Amino acid sequence: MDIWQGPLPDGRPDTDHVPATMHASEHHALPGFEAVARLAAGALGVPLVALLLTDGSAFWYTPPGLPDALPLDDALLAVCRAAARHGNAELLPDAREDLRFLSAGADSTQAGIGFFACEPVFGLGGQKLGVLLALDRGPHPAPHASAHAALRDAASLAGTGATLRSYLNRTDPATGLPHRSAFFADLRTHLPGDDDTAWIVAIEAAPVARFNALVRAMGHVYADALMRAMAERTQAWMTPDMQLYQVGVSRLAVLPAGRHDALPPARLDELVAMLRVPFDCLGVPLSLQPGVGLLKVEAHELRGGDPLRRVMSASHVAQGSGRGWAVYDHSQDERQRQEFFLVTELAAALSERTELELHYQPRVELASGRCVALEALARWRHPTLGAVSPATFVPLAEQAGLMRALTDWLFDHGLAQLAAWLRDGLDVRLSLNVSSVDLDAMLEARLATAAQRHGVPLNRLELEFTEGTAIHHNELTRDVLVALRHAGVGIAIDDFGIGYSNLDALRRMPATCLKIDQSLVRGLDTRQHDAAIVRAMAALGHDLGFRVVMEGVETASVLAAVRDMGCDEVQGHHIAMPLPAAEVAGWLRAHAARGA
């Protein structure tokens, strides 16, 4: 048995491979076609049943076990199309003298048709969709009325299947809305002239990470029901000349037919307000964080462009705004694309390349003038972009799920370098910055594994957490920090003074060091309020048993001001810039020789 479909065959039908001219994402198989064709083939006793649709698609069936199968090759398909081009009902028990079939080839006994039956296929609305053909090489006796009726019934069923296929080609099954392919088809129809323009609207239900978490927690059934509820609210907001589409798992699009002006801001505010009202979906209430994007599309942009991607860029930006909607901004889009490029490049740099390196900034003890620690700072020199700031690539690593890989790289390279310095007799500790992503039950094991691999004692290490990470912790993270302290690792609270400090949590923190943020330290010599705040923080840190480090000591006058505030260590450009690893040993020896 051969069953096949496609716009055009390529020689003998191949039931194992999709022809190059057919794209699975664009063409659905015809529902129920095998049953329809088997009914017609059995009733008329023919070796080939074919369905030719007006959109150019062809479906054919040959019953199994026939010794002399009739393949629908290119030549025969062309003849069938020509013979059935009028789409009328036709029954030819002996078609050998019909000129339409004699023209199939020189040898009519091989390429010609002896029996031909044709029934028009109609859609549910009465529109003609194509024809159903029954063919054989040799002539047949005139079929009984029941056989002819079976062919008509098969054509009727084929029309139902073709209608369903057309529906599937345009419709998302979860919401019943036209899908992305239908959106683009309608948009092209909406912009017939090269100078035509249209405004399109995209709606993002929730940030991708949050929507994925929703699916994990509640399942796809809940997510589908939520999107249907969201579609209903959007349709209640729409006017009759608008069409709604499901263009992604959590994304809708609106195409205002015949509208050439942007929607008024008040109307967009109304849509956002409607979508921000909590949904009661399957008995489970949920508030979304929708984003509505707008884009003006010109007809020429449909040739090779992707307006849907650009309007979704605007909806992504809108999710982070208070108003909840945004018009597409090219410069903002370019920044997002650049960020994506940087994320992919950072992943490659972490696994394959040598663009990342560590620089080390000394921390000096005020009382002795001795360098007691080096803070490892990641640096990235991209081969084409040049130096990429940590302020750019570290947040991107956190957003893209690369932070653990970056931290493991930091552990491995930083501890390898520390081991080399210790072997050379340099008496230093190493401070490593750690993200909130890393603060889990595996952190101690990851650090211990790296330390063992490089032969570094854990008491030579200090981990730095930002104030927000360190203060807003739970019992699990507290247990992790306690375990690190018991292993001898120092714990520093970095950037202290610029967050929302919880003094009770600070009191219970198993930390050893408080690093006051450089933004407060830089103005100590000129701003009295900063000096008062820093002095109070230093006193608080000492009362809680922490060593106090002043970051951002960039001038001699700031250093002089710091000396009167009871801090323990200083760090900043006046002490030393972050140094490449090759320069650290020389700086340490020179600093020790100066005695300050």
How far is residue 84's CA from residue 118's CA, in Å, rounded to a whole number?
A: 7
How far is residue 238's CA from residue 398's CA, in Å, rounded to a whole number?
A: 38
Q: Which of 40, 59, 38 is nearest to 50 (CA)?
A: 59
Residue 551 is among the residues annotated as catalytic for this protein: yes
How far is residue 210's CA from residue 221's CA, in Å, rounded to a whole number?
A: 16
How far is residue 435's CA from residue 401's CA, in Å, rounded to a whole number?
A: 12
Element (H, E) at 62: strand 58-62
How far is residue 204's CA from residue 35's CA, in Å, rounded to a whole number?
A: 42
Q: Which of 294, 331, 340, 334 is nearest to 314 (CA)?
A: 294
Q: Which amino acid is at 509?
A: M
Partners of residue 128 on adjacent β-strands: 122
Specify burial of residue 264 (Cβ count, 10 A radius: 0-12, 13-18, 19+): exposed
Helix axis angle, 220-237 relative to 265-276, nearest 10°?
150
Q: What would the DSSP string read from start to end of 184-231? A: HHHHHHH--STT-EEEEEEEE-S-HHHHHHHHHHH-HHHHHHHHHHHH
Q: Which of 26, 24, 34, 25 is nearest to 4 (CA)?
A: 34
Q: Which of 349, 371, 344 is nearest to 360 (CA)?
A: 371
Q: Measure CA 281 to chain center.
A: 25
- Show the tokens assigned to 59: 């479906």
Cβ–Cβ < 8 Å for 363, 431: yes
**CA atoms within 13 Å, Cβ hemisphere of 357:** 12
Q: Are strands 371-382 and 429-433 parallel, antiparallel or unpaired?
A: parallel
Q: Which residues contact 557 (CB under 8 A, 6 or more apart)?
A: 525
Rg (CA), the chain: 36
Q: Which of 31, 41, 57 is nearest to 2 (CA)?
A: 41
DSSP 122: E
- Show the tokens assigned to 420: 């080399």
How far is residue 583's CA from residue 568's CA, in Å, rounded to a whole number?
A: 25
How far is residue 144's CA from residue 116's CA, in Å, rounded to a whole number?
A: 15
User: Out of 444, 551, 554, 583, which one is annotated catalytic?
Assistant: 551
Catalytic residues: 551
